[in-house]
A and B are shown apart, each in its own frame.
Chain A
Amino acid sequence: MDANNVDMFLTANAKFLEEHQLLFIRERLLAMDESRWRMLQFMQFQDPVIILIVSLLTGPLAIDRFMIGDTGLGVIKLLTCGGLGIWALIDWIMIMGITRQKNTEKLMMAIY
């Protein structure tokens, strides 16, 4: 793929992805076929900041977990009042990283 397009994609989406994977993703995108650029261009990622705000406001309701696609864990979190409150607190710290991890997994699935 064209280096300009790849860099444009990464500039726009780097904040949604895991930092340590960015170089690897760049290499992979550069080696990819040009015809898949359109598909990549319209990919949507969850914004970690939005998820953090949702987590801060509605932690025990597990809406953050449902939004990033962790339905099973979301149900467990919801039915246990946010894991007795402790899980909800831990998620305030962890959820941004988990969101980036989910976004990276989504991108990896698309480019492989």
Chain B
Amino acid sequence: MPISKNRLYLFLTFATLAGYLWLGFHYLRAAQGAGVESVCLIHRVTGYPCPACGTSRSILALLAGDWMGALLINPLGILMMGAMIVLPFWVALDLIRKKETLYRFYLWCEIQLRRPRCYLPLLLLLILNWIWNLKKGL
């Protein structure tokens, strides 16, 4: 059985909030000239980046107006920034209008992602991004 609607909305709200707190913390640190602390377990243990490593740095570059830099650090940063902007509004709109469009979209995505013709290209892209991350040595 998939996650319930209320749990998903609560989870997404909490996750977005945590993301903004994390970004805010690093935005202030960046103003003092400090870099981003890696909390990725894979990066900490092995020293090699995971596919999503560099997302925070990418978003910070975006916030500084450096689109190209953000894309070069990790393209997933742009995706995550988009999600972080859209999701709170989507959750709020659904709650106000008492609808479940986001929940339906989530369930639809889950079904699509289980189909090989959907997940294989995405997996390939992610692996290519990972290889790129390894080459860059994030």
- Given A71-B110, A71-B114, A75-B113, the answer on whether A81 and B3 have CB atoms closer than 8 Å is no
- B96 close to chain A: CB less than 8 A: no
| Total A residues in contact with B, Cβ cutoff 8 Å | 22
- Which of B2, B18, B50, B113 lies in contact with A81, CB distance below 8 A? B50
- A27 close to chain B: CB less than 8 A: no
- A5 close to chain B: CB less than 8 A: no
- What is the size category of the interface that chain B forms with chain A? 20 to 34
- Which of B2, B39, B42, B109 lies in contact with A84, CB distance below 8 A? B39
Within 8 A of B (CB), among A63-94: 70-73, 75-76, 78-86, 88-89
- A48 close to chain B: CB less than 8 A: no
Q: Which residue of B lies closest to A72 (CB)?
A: B110
The residues of A that contact B15 with a CB separation of less than 8 Å are 76, 80, 83
The interface residues of chain B, by DSSP majority, are classed as helix
B115 to chain A, nearest CB (A): 11
Closest 10 CB pairs of A and B: A85-B39, A81-B40, A72-B110, A81-B52, A71-B113, A71-B110, A105-B1, A84-B39, A60-B42, A60-B50
Can you list 21 pairs linking A and B with CB atoms under 8 Å apart? Answer: A60-B40, A60-B41, A60-B42, A60-B52, A70-B3, A71-B110, A72-B2, A72-B113, A73-B3, A79-B80, A80-B55, A81-B39, A81-B40, A81-B52, A81-B55, A83-B18, A84-B18, A85-B40, A85-B44, A86-B39, A89-B41
B residues at A contact (CB < 8 Å): 1-3, 11, 15, 18-19, 22, 39-44, 50-53, 55, 76, 79-80, 106-107, 109-110, 113-114, 126
A residues at B contact (CB < 8 Å): 59-61, 70-73, 75-76, 78-86, 88-89, 105, 109
Given contacts A80-B15, A84-B22, 13 further A-B contacts (CB under 8 A): A59-B41, A60-B41, A60-B50, A61-B50, A61-B51, A72-B3, A72-B107, A78-B51, A79-B55, A80-B52, A80-B55, A81-B42, A84-B18
